[in-house]
Amino acid sequence: MEIFIAPAKSIKRRLRVPGDKSITHRALMLATMAEGESTITGFCPCADCYSTLACLQIMGLRASLRNGQETMHLSGMGMRNFSEPDCILPVGNSGTTIRLLSGILAGQNIFAVMNGDQSLNRRPMLRVVEPLRHMGALIFGRENGALPPIAIQGRKLTGIEYHTPVPSAQVKSAILFAGLYAKGTTVVVETSASRDHTENLFSYLEIPMIRIGHRVEVEGDIDGFPGFNLEIPGDISSAAYFIAAGAMTPDSRIEIEKVGLNHTRTGFLDVLVRMGADITITPSDEEGPEPSGNILIRTSKLHGIDIEGEQVPRLIDELPLLAVIATQAEGVTRVTGAGELRFKETDRIFAIAECLSDLGVTVNVLDDGFEIEGPVPIKGGRVRSYGDHRIAMSMAVAGMISKDGVMLEDAECVEVSFPGFWEILGGACGL
């Protein structure tokens, strides 16, 4: 599917984005492990989350959507009552699904095989497989478990202390999930903070856990926990595209309601403020495992900055979008320490550099990041998404601030994380 994104003259809108994708994945898994009924409001109806749901339903989860696609009712199976699947579990394009489920399946007394699409089956798995093997998991895969398909024979596990070479919420979460089934204590230590949605949900469900700095500890072989009710806030990674558009489009004012404000996810907002963005945050007083609130963004005069070190994990998904923002900032914006971008749905450093080059922008590509000097006009033209939803949505924002508009190829890939993106974009910007 091709979509033409025309330049936007001014945006003045109030809008909402779908529920947080990362929280939805984890909530589905925990609702399956729980005893009894659970209700999830704000379920993110994206392709990735439906991949998680499909895998869990194959293993016995009963779930139904109510109130359109907003509310999901689930009947949990308990910690150890997963049914052995009689087919391959289809994880699609979802790295979160295959990695987090690996931790849960490692402790089940069943055999399961997970397989993804062509893109996912090129993404590395060893950083999850190796610590799970240290816990006693029996895992097979291509290149000794480095690449999917992944086959897991669940069995008894033993807790470990694991220091992650690179901060990763997916690796940490897989180990913590496996730790709930393991004998003894499981500890994960990171050099800097990664997303902590798993820990927040464990705390919300009163699953025994200790957090001190970048160290997380869980006790294994737990009996279980009851079903729960959870309201999921809007996904700040989805909101980021409209925040960026509001900052760069002339005479604009965009307010986004009920967005998640988890401190491990707000690095994008922190960086934009450092660049000079006019952002106002109004926290919500609603209770839950995650903070949320409204975000107001106005047209801003931006300047370039350096983004490095501990800042990077907190905005890894938004870095392609920040490359677009850097084109409109005065001076040099330099991103380093983001080598992880090369192992996403595509090599995002290569993809964003190619796309911006096609639109008349020079990008200095680094091994672990990029450098852009602005402001520089985005002329417009034709670009491809490389089948990557983050690249596609970043190019949509580029089209909004371009001179002649952008024709985007393979635009349908945004459904992986942001269903309805094009409809919301058109409504907000009059495209």
Return the active site residues.
317
Q: Quote the CA–CA distance of 369 and 134 in Å, as a whole number.
A: 32
Is the peptide bond between 149 and the residue preceding it cis, with omega within 30 degrees of 0? yes
Q: Identify which of 21, 22, 63, 67 has the alpha carbon closest to the alpha carbon of residue 227.
A: 63
The DSSP secondary structure of 192-244, one letter per residue, reads: S----HHHHHHHHTT--EEEETTEEEEESS----B--EEEPPBPHHHHHHHHH
Cβ of 161: how many Cβ atoms within 10 Å? 12
Give the CA angle between residues 60, 83, 74 to the nearest 5°. Answer: 25
Give strand pairing partners of 231: 41
Give strand pairing partners of 53: none
Q: Can you give the C-alpha Rg of the chain in angstroms?
A: 21
Q: Quote the CA–CA distance of 289 and 307 in Å, as a whole number.
A: 29
What are the tokens at 296? 């107001």
What are the tokens at 413? 């890939």
Collapsing DSSP to helix, strand or coil, 341 comes out as helix
The enclosing H or E element of 295 equals strand 292-298
Q: Identify which of 128, 109, 117, 118 has the alpha carbon closest to the alpha carbon of residue 59.
A: 109
Sign of CA dihedral 191, 214, 135, 173: negative
Instruction: Give the type of residue at 288.
Output: G
Sign of CA dihedral 304, 308, 310, 313: positive
Sheet containing 161-163: give its strands across: 161-163, 185-189, 215-219, 209-212
Phi, psi dihedrals of residue 100, rounded to the nearest 5°: -70, -40
Q: Identify which of 67, 8, 49 has the alpha carbon closest to the alpha carbon of residue 419.
A: 49
What are the tokens at 37? 């009924």
Instruction: Give the type of residue at 383.
Output: V
Cβ of 328: how many Cβ atoms within 10 Å? 24
Q: Quote the CA–CA distance of 201 and 151 in Å, as a whole number.
A: 27
